[in-house]
Structures are given as structure tokens and as C-alpha cells.
């Protein structure tokens, strides 16, 4: 169960980062943090050989970017993502033998 939460958290932070990058209220200089991480990812030079440093750098850059963004914007976009997740969860159904069955029952 821990691995699921870990990956869910990474996906949530990625989506939050994208929303914050697209938000015009976030300062341009802050948006350079995730951009610099992406540039590092595509540049063939690595500080440490292997994919671990790349993943750590991307996660660290996302965390730094989110922490430096205005807190009210982070909360606003987090709320939007949570509502979207709840909406997707409530709309999920299974088709079983030609009948729609609610997953949560």
C-alpha cells in the first residue's frame, strides 16, 4: 500500500507543478526551476551515472517549486486536483455481464 501512495503522491505533485507553471500569477523566475530540471534531464551530462539522480533531481525540483510558489495558489490548485480526483472516483463504474455496476458497492 505504501508504494501506491508514493506513486500517487508523485503524480499529484507532477499535476500540481503543471497547473502552477500554467498559472500566470506564478512568477516567471520560479517557473525556471522545473524548466532547469527538464534541461538537466535531456542534457547528456550526468553528475551521477544512472537514472536515480535524474529522478531525485526532478522530484526535488518539483518540491522546491511547489514550496516557493504562493501558498494560496498551491492550495487553490491542490483543491482543484482533489475535486477532480473525487469526481473521477464517483464516475467510475464497471461493466459486468452487460450491466453497469458501481465499483464502490
For residue 71, give its domain range: 2-102
Higher pLDDT among residues 7 and 62, named by residue: 62
Question: CA separation (Å) from 95 to 73, 91, 98?
Answer: 39, 13, 6
Q: Do 65 and 17 contact (CB within 8 A), yes or no?
A: yes
| Backbone torsions φ then ψ of 27, nearest 5 degrees | -60, 140
Report H helices in 1-105. Answer: 2-22, 28-42, 51-68, 71-91
Cell representation of residue 85: 480526483
Structurally, the chain folds into a number of domains equal to 1
Q: Do 74 and 66 contact (CB within 8 A), yes or no?
A: yes
Under the banding of pLDDT at 50, 70 and 90, the label for residue 7 is: confident
Under the banding of pLDDT at 50, 70 and 90, the label for residue 97 is: low
Strand partners, 88: none
Amino acid at each position: 500500500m505504501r508504494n501506491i501512495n508514493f506513486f500517487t503522491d508523485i503524480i499529484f505533485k507532477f499535476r500540481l507543478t503543471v497547473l502552477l507553471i500554467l498559472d500566470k500569477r506564478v512568477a516567471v523566475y520560479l517557473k525556471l526551476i522545473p524548466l532547469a530540471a527538464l534541461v538537466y534531464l535531456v542534457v547528456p551530462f550526468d553528475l551521477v551515472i544512472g537514472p536515480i539522480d535524474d529522478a531525485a533531481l526532478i522530484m526535488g525540483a518539483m518540491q522546491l517549486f511547489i514550496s516557493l510558489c504562493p501558498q494560496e495558489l498551491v492550495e487553490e490548485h491542490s483543491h482543484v486536483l482533489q475535486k477532480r480526483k473525487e469526481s473521477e472516483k464517483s464516475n467510475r463504474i464497471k461493466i459486468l455481464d452487460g450491466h453497469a455496476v458501481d465499483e464502490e458497492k
